[in-house]
Structure 1
Amino acid sequence: MTREASPAQRTRALIIDAAADLLAASASGEFSTREVCDAAGVTAPTLYHHFGDKDGLLREVAADRFSRYLTRKQALETTGDPVEDFRRGWDMHVEFGVANPALYNIMYGRRIEGRTTPADHAHAVLVTMMRDLERAGRLRMPTGTAADMVASAAVGVTLHLIRTRAAADDHLSALVRDAVTAAVISPPTVPGAASVTPQLARAAAQLEAEMPHGSVGTLRASEATLLREWLTQLSVLGRMAGGAPS
């Protein structure tokens, strides 16, 4: 059973809620501490006692609202398909940012000194997801690189949608999401799949290794991504069949 909140905890929560409401209502994402005090019915010394300064208050508002979002996200049951879970997580991240533009800008658009930020927490959750994929043999690259790649793409897309006032389900988000998925997550191995000769596996691995170093003829980016996925599959099948490239 949860203990009843103390007067200090209730005051703190009241100030955070007032600041969050002002943040959401502000077109510029700006508000004054005086406005917060008026809305919460507290004095300035009370606000500074709990949060130190405005940056401290902003940090706590972001942490509180992101924690609520993360609780809802983690309460969802997994689908059993890591790719589908990844896609769903991406979509929820973008939806949260577009629905809370001022809050998202505090998390990712500016630097607030102090304790671990919600953005750092979100990245730690992402790293855990990448480690799970690595243990399942589905990650194409080192865990840290994969997490940085996903985070850079997701944050970039979300900030772009906020800047352009686009919807969370804008086609750009799906395009980038699917491209990142193909680049980071490898397809599952297929039991009983036809064997691949060592020569073909070596050729596929060599061509895949060369692709980042130059354009691939007239192929579009999406086609080049698909080609790289096919080459990776051939390499994986070659290793399964004992024909690992030397």
Structure 2
Amino acid sequence: MSGDKGSGTRERIIAAAAGLLTSGGIDAVSTRAVAAAAGVQAPALYRLFGDKQGLLEAVAAYGFERYLETKRASPPCDDPVEELRRGWDRHVEYGLTHPAFYVLMYGLPQPGRRPAAALDARRMLRSILDRVAEAGRLRVPPETAADVIGAAGTGVTLALIGSAPETADHDLSARTREMVIAATTTDEAPAEDNSLPAHALALDMALNRREHPLSPAETALLRDWLHRLAAN
């Protein structure tokens, strides 16, 4: 019973902090203001979250979960490259409609500390990129593409959040999206010898998803060769 009560108090505190964040930004989320909004004493915050940073991390995790809900609710697309476009647009849209949450989630990074939902978001992106690679349409290794797309999408969203409405470049997101997609993917599956990296990445993905007669040692050696070809 006490555990259920503690869980309910924790959720109430996070909801109160989320409301303050939405209405007043990060500066509004003080331990005193959160305690008052949640109807608890300050010691309860420290007992449940350790300190203000722990509370902010819990609120960031809450924000990531809401973000993932928007991604999971979207039906998948048959074209994995088009799915990348849609994912980019959903990411930017979430940031612009929830700017305070987005800045907390992406603008105040803690090295080596990411909410579990953030890791889920990364895995969702990797899953799409694996599909692109398997189709022979990825120019660079999936992990590299995930780094590039993640960094570019975050940078664009933070730039738009920080822009004054009258000076904001409303085409910035679409232009950057297409430049990043052009740099990391191809329009169609490769058919010529000069598309060797895409072929290598497609075979690498096939080794993950299909049975084959190679031993683990042979597979590791082949994948090392494929990664070197893909990076060329």
Same fold (TM over 0.5): yes
Among candidates 29, 32, 42, match of residue 30 of structure 2: 32
1:116–1:131 CA distance, 2 compared to 1 (3 A): same
Q: Secondary structure at the match of 1:20?
A: helix
- 1:177 aligned residue: 177
TM-score, reference length from structure 2: 0.74
The CA distance in 1 between the partners of 2:4 and 2:80, in whole Å, is 42
Deviation of the 1:111 alpha carbon: 2.7
Pair 189,26 (structure 1): closer, same or farther in 2 beyond 3 Å: same
How far off its partner does 1:95 sit? 0.9
Amino acid at match of 2:122: H
What letter is aligned with 1:125? M
Residues 1:124 and 2:131 are matched in the alignment: no
1:55 pairs with 2:53: yes
Alpha carbons of 1:17 and 1:24: their partners in 2 closer, same or farther (altered >3 Å)? same
Name the CA shift for 1:29/1:169 in 2 (closer, same or farther; >3 Å). Answer: farther
Counterpart Cα distance in 2 of 1:111 and 1:73: 22
1:169–1:81: structure 2 CA closer, same or farther, 3 Å change rule?
farther
Do the aligned partners of residues 155 and 6 (structure 1) sit closer, same or farther apart at CA in structure 2, a change above 3 Å counting? same
What do residues 60-111 of structure 1 show as CA deviations (whole Å, max 9, x unaligned)? 1111121122023113211211122111110110011112222211222123
- 1:89 equivalent among 87, 90, 98: 87
Which position in structure 2 is the counterpart of 1:224? Answer: none
TM-score (norm 1): 0.70
Is the contact between residue 136 and residue 189 of structure 2 (CA under 8 Å) also seen in structure 1? no
Secondary structure of 2:188 counterpart: coil
What amino acid is aligned across from residue 171 of structure 2 in structure 1? H
Match of 1:141 in 2: 140
Instruction: Name which of structure 1's ranges 126-135 and 139-148 shifts more when overlaid on structure 2.
Output: 126-135
Unpaired runs of at least 5, structure 1? 206-246
Residue 150 of structure 1 aligns with which residue?
Answer: 149
2:129/2:146 contact within 8 Å kept: yes
Which one-letter code corresponds to 2:156 in the other structure? V
Cα pair 1:141 1:184 within 8 Å, conserved: yes
C-alpha contact (below 8 Å) 2:88/2:153 kept by paired residues = yes
Work out the CA distance in 1 between the residues paired with 2:11 and 2:169: 32
Contact kept? 1:29, 1:102, Cα under 8 Å? no
Alignment CA distance shift 1:113-1:8 (3 Å): farther
Aligned equivalent of 2:161: 162
Q: How far off its partner does 1:28 sit?
A: 5.5
What is the RMSD of the two structures over their aligned residues, measured on CA atoms? 2.7
**SS of alignment partner, residue 6 of structure 1:** helix
Q: 1:43 to 1:113 in 2, by over 3 A?
A: farther
Q: Are residue 66 (structure 1) and residue 64 (structure 2) matched?
A: yes
Mapped contact 1:28–1:102 kept (Cα < 8 A): yes
Over the matched positions of the two proteins, sequence identity in percent amounts to 45
Query: Which whole-Å CA distance do the structure 1 matches of 2:41 and 2:118 have between them?
Result: 30
Q: Mark the CA change 1:152 to 1:166 in structure 2 (over 3 Å): closer, same or farther.
A: farther
Cα distance in 1 for residues equivalent to 2:155 and 2:26: 20
Q: Which amino acid aligns with 1:92?
A: R
